Amino acid sequence: MSNVDQAMRDIIARQLAQIEQEEQVRIIYACESGSRAWGFPSQDSDYDVRFIYVRPLEWYLSIEDQRDVIERPISDQLDINGWDIRKALKLFRKSNPPLLEWLQSPIQYDEQYSIAEQIRSLSPLTFSPKSCMYHYLNMAKGNFRDYLQGEQVKIKKYFYVLRPLLACGWIERYETMPPMAFDELVETLVPAGTPLYTEIHDLLRRKKAGDELDMEPKLPAIQAYITDQIAHVEQVAVGIEGHVTVEIEALNRIFQAAVQEVWQ
């Protein structure tokens, strides 16, 4: 699955190579993280590139805390941000949902080393249904509150409430990390032929076709689903289990091996 043409892939590759040179790092993994990876891009959607990088050994031996994020707002269309491997592993141990999504992104730009796959293989051990469900619930509630109140609403924002709520539904049903693809969540969790299914598919068709989705009247089936699902997930999240934390020694081994593999 990919909706990134070769010309844009070449631009992204050049920007990543420039970051490596300017920052003296090695990028071990880079992917798409936004609406393109979720499967509901507009024709003019941004490219949200996220990456994990490794610095030379000496950087990790400093007694001072140093910045562990690289941010490059290249243009209105291209946004590139990355995390240092040590920061990524600390967040991975806490079942950080954005990082878990990066690792399963269907649009990958770079994976030259074995490190991302080593981390990916441990994902089932560190996945926390509770923390991930609260992450998606809070995302849905925030976007619902900010954009979908009143008779006229920012209609494209429905996707940014529906996807996290469907992710919560996936976690409740399967107790695994939900898939990135919006289509897969809809087809699995929304009964075909229902008003909700019809409204979602019509909205998705319009967004992909490039229709101007701005202020419009509320969509009744989607609006009712959101209201009911938020209330439901708030109840479910309280009782859902946490997770068994992956052993810190396993992550230390990945970190140490990453520095050696990249800079050998």
Residue in 64, 89, 68, 78 with CA at minimum distance from that of residue 32: 78
Q: Give the chain's radius of gyration (CA, Å).
A: 20
The answer to whether residues 207 and 156 touch, using CB atoms and an 8 Å cutoff, is yes
3 state DSSP class of 72: strand
How many Å apart are CA 209 and CA 43, to the nearest integer?
7
Condensed to tens digits (0 to 9), the pLDDT of residues 223-249 reads 999 999 999 999 999 998 776 678 899
pLDDT of residue 1: 43
User: Percent of the chain beyond pLDDT 70?
Assistant: 98
Q: What are phi and psi of 191, to 5 degrees?
A: -60, 130
Condensed to tens digits (0 to 9), the pLDDT of residues 113-124 reads 999 999 999 998
How many Å apart are CA 68 and CA 73, to the nearest integer?
17
Condensed to tens digits (0 to 9), the pLDDT of residues 108-164 reads 999 989 999 999 999 988 899 999 999 999 999 999 999 999 999 999 999 999 999
Res. 2: pLDDT tops 70: no
Query: Which two tokens mark 169?
Result: 């539904």
pLDDT of residue 86: 97
How many Å apart are CA 38 and CA 51, to the nearest integer?
17
Res. 183: pLDDT tops 90: yes
Q: Which fold has domain 6-122+246-263?
A: Beta Polymerase; domain 2 (3.30.460)
Give 256's pLDDT tier (boundaries 50, 70, 90): very high
How many Å apart are CA 32 and CA 47, to the nearest integer?
7
pTM of the model: 0.92
The domain locations on the chain are 6-122+246-263, 129-239
Which residues, 6+ apart, have CB-to-CB distance to 124 below 8 Å?
A: 176
Give 75's pLDDT tier (boundaries 50, 70, 90): confident
Average pLDDT of the chain to the nearest whole number: 93
pLDDT of residue 19: 97
Res. 198: pLDDT tops 70: yes
pLDDT of residue 212: 78
Cα Dmax for the chain: 61
Residue in 132, 92, 107 with CA at minimum distance from that of residue 254: 92
Looking at the DSSP bridge assignments, the partners of residue 48 are: 79
How many Å apart are CA 112 and CA 171, to the nearest integer?
31
E strand segments, 199-247: 215-217
